[in-house]
Amino acid sequence: MHFLVLALSVLLVRSVLFPADIFAQARKPMTISELVTYNGKDREQVLYAGAKAEGKVTWYTSLAGESYKGMAKAFEGKYPGVKLEAYRVSGSEMTVRLMEESKAKRHIADTVETTEGNLMFMRDAFLLRPYHSPHFASFPEDAKEKGERGLYFWGIARESYIGFAYNKKLLAKNAVPKNYEGLLHPDLKGRMGVSVSDPAFKVIGAMIRTKGQEFVKKLKVQEIALHTIIPPALLELIASGEVLASPGIFRNHTLNAIAKGAPVEWLPMDIVPTNVGGAAITVQPPHPHGALLLADYLLGPEGQAVLEKFEYGSASKNLGFKRWRPDHGIATEKYEKDLERWEKLLKEISRRGA
């Protein structure tokens, strides 16, 4: 009897001093199918205990610049003992990489974060697994991709807005466009540029959506230069004065440049093409607890705060302009064809830049 009392006392003391360790030992490991549906109040505790046992989580992301490094540092700071291995690749490269790993039956990635168009390809190729997150409730329904059993394939963790950026020292105030019609101002002729990339193609799509294809053809007289560089590099040309303006520049890139002293401004047009990055988990994550713990962190208030520091927008906030996601709610084949059509039209109305 005395031995039983002593044993219970020791167990009680240990549960007070080491609740997470006792919990991890007392609870049987869950399968990935059980984990993705788990919504108990102790969810974070369950995932963290499991992630510590797994040791690490592998994250494929298309976040640019220092933002993904900042996210990794913040995550590891909150969850000591869980190493975050982040691999930064473009969305298209990520899709190819996941497909090749799947064919080789070599599962490496746990959590992915990339643009919606690429997530659609991954979903259709059965590379993603739908899951539950308590943070899904904070986002509007169109910011989540439905799966079965009330689960979601991804939630929109960040948004980037494509609009008009210009050198405020060189462009007269009366020539600054308030909408797409304003791009026809004489002061802009021969002085605008666009990057040959998806953001510029989506701007063409936005113009067709709001003004029609005939309006887009009118822009040929403006002699917009095509540049085979990424949008952030084009923004640097705008800041230096080599290019006066562009209708295909990201808001977050511009705000970051302004913070560093660049003489640039950004404006939304009639509608704002919006790139989004969704948080998803792979169909067979090697570290399932870590995969879900990271997805929750990306969608939760702390992860969202990290993204806001790098000027990313949120699907849960109203920024005062009309957003448009070209790849949302359509079949992947149609989206591919739309991009090809917009790219062709852009090249027809533009001239080759330096």
Q: Tokens 């991804």 appear where?
A: 154
Identify whether the C-beta of residue 235 lies closer than 8 Å to the C-beta of residue 286: no
Task: Report yes or no: 67 and 310 within 8 Å, Cβ to Cβ.
Answer: yes
The pLDDT score that the predictor gives to residue 330 is 83
Domains detected in the chain: 31-159+275-309 (3.40.190.10), 161-272+320-352 (3.40.190.10)
List, as one string, the DSSP characters of 254-280: HHHHHHTT--EEEE--SSEEEEEEEEE
pLDDT, residue 12, reads 41
When pLDDT is cut at 50, 70 and 90, the band that residue 4 belongs to is very low
More confident of the two residues 78 and 316: 78
DSSP-H helix ranges across the chain:
2-17, 19-26, 32-35, 43-54, 67-78, 91-103, 116-124, 198-211, 213-218, 231-240, 251-259, 288-299, 301-309, 332-349
pLDDT band, residue 269 (cuts 50/70/90): very high
pLDDT, tens digit, for every residue of 183-234?
A: 999 999 999 999 998 899 999 999 999 999 999 999 999 999 999 998 999 9
Asked if 30 and 5 count as a contact pair (C-beta separation under 8 A), the reply is no
CA-only gyration radius of the chain, Å: 24
In this prediction, residues 44-65 reach a mean pLDDT of 94
- 243 — pLDDT class (breaks 50, 70, 90): very high
pTM: 0.79
- Summarize pLDDT for 123-144 with one digit per residue, the tens: 999 999 999 999 999 999 989 9
pLDDT at residue 333, rounded to an integer: 86
pLDDT computed for residue 319 by the predictor? 87
Decide if pLDDT at 321 tops 90. yes
Give percent of the chain above pLDDT 90. 79
- Those residues with Cβ within 8 angstroms of residue 346's Cβ, 6 or more apart along the chain or in another chain: 194, 196, 200, 201, 204, 226
pLDDT at 353: 62
- Please, what is the average pLDDT of the chain? 90
H/E stretch holding 161 = strand 152-167
pLDDT digits (tens, 9 = 90+) for 161-187: 999 999 999 999 999 999 999 999 999
Read off the pLDDT of residues 55-78 as tens digits, 9 standing for 90 and up.
Answer: 999 999 998 778 999 999 999 999
| Dist. CA 48–CA 307, nearest whole Å | 22
